[in-house]
Amino acid sequence: MLSIKFLGASSGCVTGSSYLLENDGQQILIDLGLFQGSKEIADLNYKPLDFNPSKLKGVFLTHAHLDHCGRLPLLMQLGFFGKVFMTAPTRSLLELSLNDTVKIAEETPWKTKLYGYSEVNKLLKLIEIVEYDKQFEIANFLVTFKNAGHILGSASIEIKEKKGEKKIVFSGDIGNTPEDIIKPTQYIDSADYVVMEATYGDKNHKKENASLVLNQVINQTEDRSGVLLIPAFSLERTQELLHLIYHLKKENKIRRDTPFFLDSPMGIQATLIFKEFKEFYNSELLSHHDDPFSFEGLVITESVRDSKDIIKAITPKVIIAGSGMMSGGRILHHAINYLPSSKTALLFVGYQAEGTLGRKILEGAGHIQIDKEMVKVRAKIMELEALSSHADQAKLLTWARNIRGVNKFFLTHAENMQRESFANVLRRNNLKVYLPSLGETVALI
C-alpha cells in the first residue's frame, strides 16, 4: 500500500517540512526541517522522530532552507546510513546552513543542542548529487527532481511507483517566478497526488517593481541622512538585494558615496557559493561580464568587531544583515541601535512567520524585547513583497492547474488562514483538496 505520513509543516504550521512516503513496506523521507517560530512550535524539534530512520531507503531534500533541512543531522544519531539526494548547489548551501546552526547553538549554551559538527559531517558524507530532469531509481521508487525556482538548487520532486502507476509530487517551496537571479520554475505535467505548499495561499503580492521601490527607499534614506535596515535571509534574498543595488549604482540612481554594509557572515559565504554555480543563473545574470553581486560602496563586515564598528560610519547608510525574520543574527544589535530613531527605516523583504520578532514589528509593535532589553520602535516599517521567493496565490494556482490528472492536493507549509483560503481557490477550480494534520498518515488508494 502507498501512503504519506505528514511529519511537519501541517496543521497550519509553516515550518518543519517533512514527509514519509511508504510503498509496500519501503520508506523514503522528503525533507526534515526545523520547526521555527514560537516556543510552542520550536519545542517540536526536541520530540522523538515519528519514524525509524534505520528503515529508510533514502532521503530527498528539496532545498537548503532550514525549515526543510535543519533536522537532517538527527538521522545520524538514529541509525540511518543510506543516501541523501539533492542538487549540487543545495549540497553546498546545506553545509553552510547546518554548520551555521551548530555555531549558533554553541553560542547559546542555555539552549539544548539538537546536534553538533560531527553529525553534520557524517550527513555530508552520505550526500548523492542529482541533476534536474534525470530520473533515477531507489528501492521501488522512480525519482525526478524539477527546478522549483525558489532558491538556487531548489527542487520539486516527482516520485513514481516502480511497479505501479501512481505518481506523487512534492512541490517543495514554489518560486515567485520569474525571479531576479535564477532560472524560472518548471511546471509538472501530471500527477495522481500532490503535496503542495500554500505559504501565500490567501493573497497576491503587490504589483510593485522591486528595483523601483528599493531605489525610492534608499533615496529617502539618503535625503534624511538616515539608516536603512534590511533583515535578509542569507540564501537568495541577500544575493537578490546585492544584484538590484548593483544596477542602481551602475545607473547612478543612488549616491556613489552611500555605504552599504553586508553584515552577515552566512550571507557572505552564500554569495561565494552562488558564484560557483553560474549554470543555475537566469539569462540576465549570465549576461554580466563582471561580478553581479558587488558594487562601489559595498563593505563586507565578516568579524564581530567590524559589525560593531558600523555604528561609527556616518549617515546615510544601508545595513543588510541576518536573520531574515529577526529571530537572531546581527540584525538584532542594529535594531537596538537604530529602531528608536525616526530617521531609521526597516525594510522587510521576506516572509515573517507567526511568533517571530519580525512578524511582531510588521504588525505594529511599539516596543519589542531583544534579549533583556526593551526597544522602542520609532523607525518607519516597510515591506517589499516583490522580493518574496514564494509564489503568491495566483502563481500557486497556475502551478497547480498545469498538473493533469490530480486526484487530490494535500496543502501544507501554511498558516491555517492561508491554507484554507487556497483550498477554497482550488475547489472553485474543481480540484480536490485535503488539509493534513501533523502526524497524520494518509493512504493513497
d(CA 111, CA 83): 30
pLDDT at residue 310 in the model: 98
Return the CATH number of 2-203+390-443, one of 1.20.1050.10, 3.20.20.140, 3.60.15.10, 1.20.1250.20. Answer: 3.60.15.10
239-278 b/e (C-beta count within 10 Å ≥ 16 → b): bbbbbbbbbbbeeebbeeebbbbbbbbbbbbbbebbeebe
pLDDT at residue 253 in the model: 98
pTM, 2 dp = 0.94
pLDDT at residue 39 in the model: 86
pLDDT at residue 445 in the model: 87
CA 342 to chain centre: 31
At residue 401's C-alpha, the angle toward residues 396 and 405, to 5°, is 135
pLDDT at residue 177 in the model: 93
Per-residue pLDDT at 112 exceeds 90: no
Q: How much is the mean pLDDT over the chain?
A: 95
pLDDT digits (tens, 9 = 90+) for 37-76: 788 999 999 999 999 999 999 999 999 999 999 999 999 9
pLDDT at residue 351 in the model: 85
Per-residue pLDDT at 135 exceeds 90: yes
Share of the chain above pLDDT 90, in %: 90
Residues in contact with 354: Cβ distance below 8 Å, sequence separation at least 6, in sequence order: 14, 37, 38, 415
Give me the mean pLDDT over the 208-226 stretch: 96
- Quote the cell numbers at residue 422: 487556497
Strands 408-412 and 193-197, bridge-based pairing: parallel
CA 322 to chain centre: 13
pLDDT at residue 37 in the model: 79
Return the CATH number of 210-387, one of 3.90.1300.10, 3.30.1330.100, 3.40.50.10890, 3.20.20.70. Answer: 3.40.50.10890
d(CA 411, CA 423): 7
Share of the chain above pLDDT 70, in %: 100
pLDDT at residue 48 in the model: 95
d(CA 61, CA 155): 8
pLDDT at residue 304 in the model: 94
Per-residue pLDDT at 331 exceeds 90: yes
Beta bridge partners, 346, equal: 229, 381
Count of all residues that appear for the chain in the document:
445
pLDDT at residue 350 in the model: 87
Q: Where are the domains of the chain?
A: 2-203+390-443, 210-387
pLDDT at residue 158 in the model: 98
pLDDT digits (tens, 9 = 90+) for 353-379: 888 899 999 999 999 999 889 999 999
Per-residue pLDDT at 108 exceeds 90: no
pLDDT digits (tens, 9 = 90+) for 228-248: 999 999 999 999 999 999 999
Cα–Cα nearest to 349, from 399, 398, 383: 383
